[in-house]
Structure 1
Amino acid sequence: MPHPRKRRRWMIATALVLLLVLLSWAMARWRGPVLPGYEVAAGPLVQNVVATGRVAALSRVQVGAEISGLVLERRVMEGDRVEPGDVLVVLRAVDIEARRNEARAALETLRKADRPDAQARYRQAQADLAQAEREAQRRRELGERQLVSRESVEQAAQAVVAARAAAGQARVAAESVASGGALEAQVIERLRAAEADLERAVIRSTVAGTVLVRQVEPGDAVTPGQVLLEIAADAPGEILLPLDEKNLSLLEVGQPATCVTDAFPGRPFAATVHHIAPGIDPARGTVDVRLRIDPSADFVRQDMTVTATLLTGRRDSALAVPNDALLGNGPGASRAEVLRVRGGRVERVPVTLGLRGLAMTEVSVGLAEGDTVLAASTLDDGELPADGDRVRLRVQAMPAARPAAASSEDQDLPGAIQGGG
């Protein structure tokens, strides 16, 4: 048997250990449970909206026939580059050529035959009028001397009237065929109209661009209004993004975006918001946003699938908390609550929100730098401490930055909103 003194010492030591354990447990119960949380700090923050859309040509020009004719030549294929004035299609129009030749012949006849003839007739009519006037004057003088009959004098006067009328008609006829006259103007107009129609038989590009579609071949008969080709006009390309309407309040014309195509994922390029649709698509609940592509992105092609990250907000220094520290942080909410820990006790504090991101959200009112908050949304509702409860905070590192943009300048900045349509 152990010595009584040794046994007493062992019992005393055991009791002391049990007492220390009990005191530690009581102290832990008094100080509260250990819960995860964060220390609030200021830092850079970005807010992005991410969506997927397609590249759309700014302008697709449809090239059509203005006259009827037979296709003699088709000088371009899909993918060919064209400049203004380049010949695309040549038509043959026999009836228009006949009208042009007839107008040319009529103008030639007018200038070389009709005009000299009319001028000669006018000169002859003037000479006949002068002769008739002299004869009438002579007969009046003879009549006054009663050497000719009164009837002869009257006949001479009538001859003057007839000669004057003939001279007037000849003058009008000569003026009508004179250079710049009405008849010449009509013939020239007919010739110009025929030549203009023939110019339409040579179909030229009106824009610089790339041929997308051809719908005509040599030998085809075409009619006015028939579309022969489609050209994507050269211009800064566009990306059409259908964005969820809940992001409308974040969007502004001029916001920068970083885009990546499915075809070239390793070649991000810049774009800029240049148009926001005035209405909402009620069927999809989206708003169409158009981005203007940076001209240096010459590898972008029509109808490519593009993921675009729009920079909708940025703070160089913002007081932000992780989203899992916010209570009541619903979509579009401007206010929420946090569980702040001061002096080992919990305080439920209302806060006003600013920029919102995937990982972090700006707190504009309600907290100060250095405050500590619980990661409240990681706890079950039954585990949430009430105001005044004691807790021990296990401070965690802030969430890793998760910007949606591929731009290198934003790689260390948290706060991207997933806003696709």
Structure 2
Amino acid sequence: MLQIKVFCAVCAFRSARRKAFGFVERFVRLKRYAIGIAMAAAVGAAAYWYISRPAPVTVVKPKRGDAAEIVYASGVVEPRIWAKVTPTVRERIVEQCNCEGERVEKDHVLARLDDTEARATRGELQARLSLAQEEYRRKLALSARNTASVQEVDRARTEVAQLEALVAAQQARLANYVLRAPSAGQVLRQDGEIGEVAELGTVLFWVGEPKPLIVTAEVNEEDIPRVEVGQRALLRSDAFPGRELEAVVDIITPKGDPVTKTYRVRFRLPDDTPLRIGMSTDVNVIVRQSPDTLILPSGAISGKRVAVVEGGDVRLREIETGIRGTGGVEVLSGLEETAQVISPFPAELAEGTRVTIAGGSGN
């Protein structure tokens, strides 16, 4: 009987322990479920907040200013009156004036080239001419005594005429060995040294008047229809950073260059311009100008649409634009001066999307 009671007690203990363990397992399982549900709820709440949160945007307000439609070109400062002096024969320089920066008169000798060989050729031709003339006189004398035919006299006269022409041509060639000033003016630049060989086409002297000055520029053929004589132009030069210089369209060359597809345009500079001969400049021809107009950055406009912030939502507006430049776009209508325009244009945001302005109001 004692063994039976002990066995029953052990069984009761084991049963109670199993019940206790089962309760603990259910508790742990319920706790895990509760934690999982809480985490899922937190993730869902975070996802909902992320999806429904206002999108941050940056805005700008239209600003008033002067809008200008311009045509761009690059040019070089040149004298209005000037000429290049180049040799027409390839020969060594034997004499050269030291006259850079000085005024010279027309036909002033600037340089001489070695004409030794050319003079020798002229001497040979003159000697042949003397012999031909003597032979012609002798034939005339013989013809007078009827001992020379008319044909012989004619041949002698023809040879004399030919040699006279050759001597005259050689004398004219000798003039090419002397470089002279084509007109009165200042020697603006002088190149080459005594002893150097002057190559054909090499400019040795620039002679002209230092004033007035012009800017010669090349304008693309698609822009030239908008350029007219008398238009104002703004110039920029690296020699005068931050300083705006002015010029006026003076001459438009009627014929363009079919290779470069450009037209040459000359701009008249004022007498007090600080620009110097040979300086390069950026030329901005003002085709049209609108003073005190609304201007928006180019990036804030997509076609003719802008996105504005109204009551925390995105609203799309159709606007009418005018002059488009590198600094912005002229707004003719469809936008108030106080509008908060999203910039850059938010192509990914739809109408009515909630937004928040990042970094202030865009003033």
TM-score w.r.t. the length of structure 2 is 0.50
Distance 1:358 1:337 in 2: 18
- 1:386 alignment partner, one of 350, 353, 360: 350
Quick one: which of 327, 343, 348 aligns to 1:359?
327
Q: Quick one: distance in 1 between partners of 2:63 and 2:248?
A: 32
Structure 1 unaligned blocks of 5 or more: 1-14, 65-72, 91-202, 218-226, 329-335, 399-421
Query: Partner of 2:276 in structure 1?
Result: 300
From 10, 29, 36, the equivalent of 2:52 is 29
Which runs of no fewer than 5 residues in structure 2 stay unpaired?
A: 1-37, 87-94, 111-179, 195-202
Whichever residue aligns with residue 354 of structure 2, its letter is: R
Q: Pick from 310, 318, 325 the counterpart of residue 293 of structure 2.
A: 318
Q: From 232, 242, 248, give the equivalent of 2:218.
A: 242
Q: Which residue of 1 aligns with 2:74?
A: 52
Q: How many Å separate the matches in 2 of 1:244 and 1:204?
A: 35
- Opposite residue 241 of structure 1, the aligned amino acid is A
8 Å CA contact 1:327, 1:376 repeated in 2: no
Structure 1 residues 44 and 54, CA, compared in 2 at 3 Å: closer, same or farther? Answer: closer
Q: Distance in 2 between matches of 1:356 and 1:280?
A: 27
Q: Distance in 1 between matches of 2:242 and 2:307?
A: 43
**Pairing 1:133-152 to 2, within 5 Å after superposition:** none
Alignment of 1:204-353 (within 5 A): 206-210=183-187, 212=189, 231-233=207-209, 235-248=211-224, 251-263=227-239, 265=241, 269-278=245-254, 281-297=257-273, 300-301=276-277, 303-328=278-303, 336-353=304-321
Contact 1:210 1:234 in 2 (8 A): no
Given that residues 38 and 374 in structure 1 are in contact (C-alpha distance below 8 angstroms), is that contact kept between their aligned partners in structure 2?
yes
- TM-superposed CA distance for 1:213, in Å, is 5.8
Q: Secondary structure at the match of 1:324?
A: helix
CA contact (8 A) 2:80 2:209 kept: yes
**CA–CA separation in structure 2 for the residues paired with 1:280 and 1:37:** 46
Deviation at 1:247, TM superposition (A): 4.1
1:77/1:214 contact within 8 Å kept: no
Quickly say closer, same or farther: Cα 1:62–1:321, change in 2 above 3 A.
Answer: closer
After superposition, what is the alpha-carbon deviation per residue over 1:367-420, rounded to whole angstroms, capped at 9, x for unaligned?
22222222144x5x4xx212333333445546xxxxxxxxxxxxxxxxxxxxxx
Alpha carbons 2:70, 2:285 under 8 Å: kept: yes
User: Which residue does the alignment assign to 2:60?
Assistant: 38
Check the 8 A contact 1:39/1:371 in 2, yes or no.
yes
Give the letter for the 1:29 counterpart: S
1:91-240 correspondence runs (5 A): 206-210=183-187, 212=189, 231-233=207-209, 235-240=211-216
Distance 1:362 1:60, change over 3 A: same
| Contact 1:81 1:211 (8 Å CA) reproduced | no
Corresponding residue for residue 374 of structure 1? 342
Q: Classify 1:308/1:371 alpha carbon distance in 2 versus 1 (closer, same or farther; 3 Å).
A: same
CA, structure 1 residues 368+270, in 2 after alignment: closer, same or farther (shift >3 Å)? Answer: same
Matched letter for residue 318 of structure 1: T
Give, in whole Å, the separation in 1 of the partners of 2:70 and 2:328.
12
2:164 alignment counterpart: none
Deviation per CA, 1:113-142: give whole Å up to 9, x if none. xxxxxxxxxxxxxxxxxxxxxxxxxxxxxx
| Aligned CA distance change for structure 1 residues 389 and 62 (closer, same or farther; 3 Å) | closer
Whether the aligned pair in 2 keeps the contact of 1:325 and 1:374 (CA below 8 Å) is yes
SS in 1 for 2:58: strand
Query: Residue 326 of structure 1: CA displacement?
Result: 0.8
Per-residue deviation, 1:341: 3.2
- Contact 2:234–2:244 (CA under 8 A) maintained in structure 1: yes
Alpha-carbon RMSD: 4.6
The one-letter amino acid paired with 2:306 is V
Shift of 1:228: 10
Q: Which amino acid aligns with 2:343?
A: A
Provide the TM-score with structure 1 as the length reference.
0.44
| Partner SS, residue 387 of structure 1 | coil
Post-superposition offset of 1:236: 2.1
Match of 1:198 in 2: none
Identity percentage of aligned residues: 26
SS in structure 2 opposite 1:55? strand
Which AA in structure 1 matches 2:308? R
* Matches of 1:33 and 1:228, distance apart in 2: 69
Structure 1's 251 and 214: CA in aligned 2 closer, same or farther, altered over 3 A?
Answer: same
The one-letter amino acid paired with 1:88 is H
Assess, with a 3 A threshold, how the Cα gap between structure 1 residues 308 and 43 changes in structure 2: closer, same or farther. Answer: closer
